[in-house]
Structure 1
Amino acid sequence: MDTVEPSVTGTQSVFRALKILHAFTAARPTLTGPEVADLFGYSLPTAYRLLRALEAENFLVLDRSTRAYSPGPEILRLAGVMLHRDALVAQTQTSLVRLRALTGETVAVYWRLGNRCTCTQEMPSPQVTRAEAGIGADFPITRGAAGKALLLGLPESEVRALLREPDVPAPIGGADALLAELAVGRRRGYTVSGGETVAGSVSIAAPVPWVREGLAAYCVIAPESRFGPRERDAAARTLVEEMERLRSILQGHTPY
């Protein structure tokens, strides 16, 4: 969903700078001044003014040889604040270790950022042949098990409204097929998809129970060649059990 820039002059530059930070992704880790200008329709002087301000505050760093900007150390500092703020991230790390040991496959946590599903933590399978997305990888919320798990709490009317938004790709199979998948996922407590985000893989995902509904999900992903129906069912049971275990551990935690 696009951010509407406020008309108040004093905050317009702040929102423009934040839009630039949001534009960095795993697939686009650097941006130049002309690229920012083209991306947002800013004049070149405005793009450089915003980039230099972000650089001055260490939110961005500039590669002097390529003239390209990338995320800077201030973002790492803020991530550290989040890591030490409460037990949430520590618990997810412990939980991911446990889940990987039980399934033998790659496990990850995805968060909803706008209308996309972004991998924020991942522990690759110890097996030589494995499937993984990579931290920072993001996908449309309508694609893949993790994205669909984030939609399980939405009523049909809200899902259909989401599908009308211009930055949301049509689901594979159409809206009715997605709604049918979500109905099955609600009964099961998890979603399943094959090859929608990582080619040759099957993924299973469940919404995180202690975070605000629709904000985060756990995912198990494996090569399709060794993740048949029996393995999927076993992994799904393990995933749902782990979510319930986390719910009991974090009952006193204040959700986001």
Structure 2
Amino acid sequence: MPTPGNTVLTRALRLLDAFTPDRPALTLSEIARLTGMPVSTVHRLLAGLVAWGALERGDDGRYRVGLRLWEVGALAPRGQGLRERALPYLEDLSQITRENVQLAVREGTELVFVERIAGTGAVPVLSRVGSRFALTATGVGLVLLAHAPPEVQEEVLRAPVERFTPQTVVDPARLRRMLADVRSSGFAVSDRQVTMDALSVAAPVHDGRGAVVAAVSLVVRHGSAPAHALAPLLRTSARAISRALAQPTRR
């Protein structure tokens, strides 16, 4: 019997895990090197993944993530249902502000962006739909971490906090105070913590039982608007999305 963690499925997933935003296209030898598996094994697994549509092989011989995998991923209920109900309000927020609008959920000790609408002429951001990011630096991350279970907060705050800019808060004691402020004020502010030209303001989205299931944010150019002027708009949008999530699903 195959040992746990070394089944065909787990090895295939290791192949898929080799692809990242920085490595969207890989050769056979590169995948073998990144996964530590023999070339012959990788070649056999790649053939199966390509046949199913999880990967595609281009004319240059490099492998890329296939549309079939994207189609399956889009069925994830937490992302799909949330995105569908939130999208009209995200679009309204984008049209009103012409700024970057983001929607994210927590996955373990990281966040995952489930939607992003880029504003016309807005400040560039590092996020993209489906990408993961630290909970400690962004507006949406601070909201999600502030409302995460205590054990998740402790795990995040005990680990080294990644620094993105000189403004990134990495001190656990200061982060704890920030999280308490998020819970009391109902919104989070990330000022130049990810890039030196961006300010993010975020608010929590609740489900029908009152639990925080997501966070919505605006990312604007630093100095273009005070955070407290944006907070009421974010909280209004978050409440609208929360009401939409609380509505029964129509069949």
TM-score range, shorter chain: 0.7 to 0.9
Identify if the C-alpha distance between structure 1 residues 201 and 145 changes in structure 2 by more than 3 Å, giving closer, same or farther: same
* Deviation digits for residues 61-113 of structure 1 (CA, Å, limit 9, x no counterpart): 11231x32111120233255459x97533222211111123333210112334
Q: Which amino acid aligns with 1:149?
A: V
Q: CA deviation at 1:155?
A: 4.7
1:219 counterpart residue number: 217
1:32 aligns with 2:27: yes
Q: CA deviation at 1:23?
A: 4.2
* Deviation digits for residues 223-252 of structure 1 (CA, Å, limit 9, x no counterpart): 10313x2xx212211111111122222214
Equivalent-residue separation in structure 1 for 2:172 and 2:156 (angstroms): 10
Is the CA contact (8 Å cut-off) linking 2:113 and 2:127 kept in structure 1? yes
1:145 aligns with 2:139: yes
Equivalent-residue separation in structure 2 for 1:20 and 1:116 (angstroms): 22
Identify if the C-alpha distance between structure 1 residues 215 and 43 changes in structure 2 by more than 3 Å, giving closer, same or farther: farther
Identify if the C-alpha distance between structure 1 residues 207 and 179 changes in structure 2 by more than 3 Å, giving closer, same or farther: same
Q: 1:93 aligns with which of 77, 87, 94?
A: 87
Equivalent-residue separation in structure 1 for 2:110 and 2:188 (angstroms): 17
1:55 aligns with 2:53: no
2:64 counterpart residue number: 70
* Deviation digits for residues 98-140 of structure 1 (CA, Å, limit 9, x no counterpart): 11233332101123345433333211123x3433334244322
Equivalent-residue separation in structure 2 for 1:34 and 1:111 (angstroms): 35
Worse-superposed segment, 235-244 or 21-30? 21-30
**Number of equivalent positions:** 241
**Runs of 5+ unmatched residues, structure 2:** none
Is the CA contact (8 Å cut-off) linking 1:107 and 1:124 kept in structure 2? yes
1:3 counterpart residue number: none
Moved over 6 A (4+): none
Identify if the C-alpha distance between structure 1 residues 154 and 114 changes in structure 2 by more than 3 Å, giving closer, same or farther: closer
Q: Which amino acid aligns with 2:128?
A: I
Is the CA contact (8 Å cut-off) linking 1:151 and 1:214 kept in structure 2? no
**Percent of matched pairs sharing the same residue:** 26
Q: 1:7 aligns with which of 3, 9, 13?
A: 3
Identify if the C-alpha distance between structure 1 residues 141 and 23 changes in structure 2 by more than 3 Å, giving closer, same or farther: farther
Is the CA contact (8 Å cut-off) linking 1:195 and 1:202 kept in structure 2? yes
**Runs of 5+ unmatched residues, structure 1:** 1-5
Is the CA contact (8 Å cut-off) linking 1:25 and 1:138 kept in structure 2? no
Q: 2:104 aligns with which of 100, 110, 113?
A: 110
Q: CA deviation at 1:26?
A: 2.8
Q: 2:177 aligns with which of 170, 180, 183?
A: 180
